[in-house]
Amino acid sequence: MKRRKFLLASISAFVLSLVSLWYYKFRSTKIEALSYPMDLSKICDRKTLIGIGTTHRKLTDENTKNYLEELLLQDAVVIETNLKMSLRNKVTEDFNTGNTILIDGWLLSKTEARQCAFLSMSEVN
């Protein structure tokens, strides 16, 4: 009986750790995508991106991670492997529709500005 219990507990623990590992990986991939303005990162260094993000938060009321996440994921196809690309497409779409913002002089897509804001609040920062 004891042995059965022990086996069950071990399996549950294993599954749980798998799930949390998966969740952790999913979450960190997501956070990475949310705080990675793909094109802008090729132009600006991390310090500048964080600076842009900090200013964005001051200029707008978008200054909690949850709210930024909510805004960033609006309309984006939230598929783990595609999040980075879908956010990138959203950036292009912003430029197409004039959904832009001026931050520290940079003429940016609102999506990438939010990504910078997310980065500036993120624990990896």
Partner 1 sequence: MHTDARKLANNAKIEGDLCIVGAGAAGISMALDWNNSGKKVILLEGGGFEYDNKIQDLYSGNSTGQRYYPLRSCRLHLFGGTTGHWGGMCAPFDHIDFRKRSWVPDSGWPISLEDLVPFYKRAQGLFELDAYNYNLHYWQKEYPALTPFPLDKNIIWSKMWQFSPPTRFGKTYKETIVKSPNIHLYTYANLTKIVANNAVSNIKELIVKNLEGKTQRVRAKKFVLACGAIQNARMLLASSDVAKKGIGNGNDLVGRYFMEHLEIKSAELWLKRPISTELYIFDYGTRKPRAELALTEGIQEETGILNGSASLTPLVMAKQQMPLIDVWSNEDPRKSFDKLVANFRESREQNASWQNENGNTAFELFTRMEQAPNRNSRVTLSNEKDALGVPRPQLHWELTDLDKYSIRKFYHILGTQMGKAGIGRVRLEEFLWDEKDNSMPDRLGGGWHHMGTTRMSEDPNKGVVDANCKVHGISNLFIAGSGCFSTAGAPNPTLTLVALSLRLSDHLKKG
Give whichever of 63 and 100 is closer to partner 1, judged by the CB atom. Answer: 100
How far is the CA of 52 from the CAs of 26, 75, 79, 90, in angstroms? 26, 23, 27, 18
Binding of partner 1 by 66 (CB under 8 A): no
Pick the closest to residue 68 from 121, 124, 123, 125 (CA basis): 121
Give whichever of 1 and 105 is closer to partner 1, judged by the CB atom. Answer: 105
Binding of partner 1 by 60 (CB under 8 A): no
Could you say which residues in the range 70-89 bind partner 1, by CB under 8 A? none
Q: Hey, is 102 helix, strand or coil?
A: strand
Binding-residue pattern over the window 86 to 115 for partner 1, x denoting contact by CB under 8 A:
-----xx-xxx-x-x-x-xxxxxx------
State how far the Cα of 10 lies from the Cα of 122, in Å rounded to an integer.
34
Contacting positions for partner 1 (CB under 8 A): 39-40, 42-44, 91-92, 94-96, 98, 100, 102, 104-109
